[in-house]
Amino acid sequence: MILLFGGTSDSVEIAKEMAQRGIRVTISTATEYGMDIALALDRPEIEVICSRLDAIGMKKLARDIGADCIIDATHPFAVEVSKNAIICASDMKLPYARYEREKTSDTEGAICFCSFEEAAGFLKDTKGNVLLAIGSNNMDIFANSIEMERLYVRVLPTSDAVLKCEGLGFSPRNIIGMQGPFSKEMNRLIIRESSIKYMVTKDSGKRGGTAEKIEAARMEGAQTIIIKRKDMDYPLVFESINDTVEFALGIGKIGE
């Protein structure tokens, strides 16, 4: 049994490949969105659990399902989840592997910051509309620093995400509820229609559509602000889904 921490399209693809090769997988996700995309696989080899777990909760789950291995395919910015998964694997003496999306290689013209706080501090002293394409987390950092009428947010079209935006004071007209990833042309349209001067995004790699955001902003004369990933010391990292599956396949056979 493989315990797969996910909630991303990457994790779903990894789980699907494992299931097709006869490996049983339990996907643990912290969000209903992550649960929904995992359940859509509808495979008997795959069980899906939706719960926010700390290291203790992860260890209990691993024991309950008889996990042979832990695969961490969470979002590149879900740092705390990865830290807890590493602790869980170490304490339980289970093999651990991290699937990590490749970083964006072409950031020409973009301004990169190491934290959301640094980016918000920079934008505070600028003029013009700002599009936050960073998901529903960390919006408060910008809402507390920048005039609300300047801020537009693009989030998943879920009630939780929209309510979170409204709770922070975002006007309904400044909330864009859409599910990505987005094409270059869709990004251009949003930038143009909302008169965006600055687009804030995380380095979510190719699968997260970062390159399309950068190019769209460049073509529309807007400035891209990129939040860089935090450096993590993973015990074992794969940048290929196939390599990740092959690793899990070997462990899965041992645990059969």
Does CATH place domain 111-227 in 3.40.50.150? yes
What CA–CA distance (Å, rounded) separates 55 from 61? 10
Q: Which pLDDT score is estimated for 99?
A: 96
Question: What is the torsional sign of CA 65, 68, 74, 78?
Answer: positive
What CA–CA distance (Å, rounded) separates 129 from 200? 11
Query: Which 3 state secondary structure label does DSSP give 228?
Result: coil
What CA–CA distance (Å, rounded) separates 62 from 66? 6
Across the beta sheet with 69-72, the strand order is 46-50, 25-29, 2-5, 69-72, 96-99, 237-238
| Cβ count near 122 (within 10 Å) | 15
Per-block mean pLDDT, blocks of 10 residues, the chain (256 long): 93 94 94 89 94 96 96 94 97 96 85 97 97 94 96 93 95 93 94 97 86 94 95 93 92 51
What CA–CA distance (Å, rounded) separates 93 from 67? 11
Phi first, then psi: give them for residue 47, nearest 5 degrees.
-115, 140
Q: Which pLDDT score is estimated for 103?
A: 85
Task: Identify the CA nearest to 226 among candidates 124, 110, 106, 102.
Answer: 110
CATH superfamily of 2-101+231-254: NAD(P)-binding Rossmann-like Domain (3.40.50.720)
In the chain, DSSP finds a helix count (H) and a strand count (E) of: 10, 12
Q: Tokens at residue 221, please? A: 């004369």
By the 8 A CB rule, do 129 and 138 touch? no
Residue 74: DSSP 8-state: -
What CA–CA distance (Å, rounded) separates 107 from 226? 8
What is the pTM for the complete model shown? Answer: 0.86
Beta strands at 2-5 and 25-29: parallel, antiparallel or unpaired: parallel
Cross-strand partners of 132: 153, 200
Residues 6+ away with beta carbon under 8 Å from 178: 154, 156, 157
Q: Which pLDDT score is estimated for 250?
A: 83
For tokens 């929904």, what's the residue? 36
Cross-strand partners of 28: 5, 49
The domains spanning 2-101+231-254 and 111-227 adopt the same CATH topology: yes
Q: Which pLDDT score is estimated for 252?
A: 54
Q: Which pLDDT score is estimated for 155?
A: 95
Sorted by where each begins, the domain ranges of the chain are: 2-101+231-254, 111-227
What CA–CA distance (Å, rounded) separates 215 from 49? 37
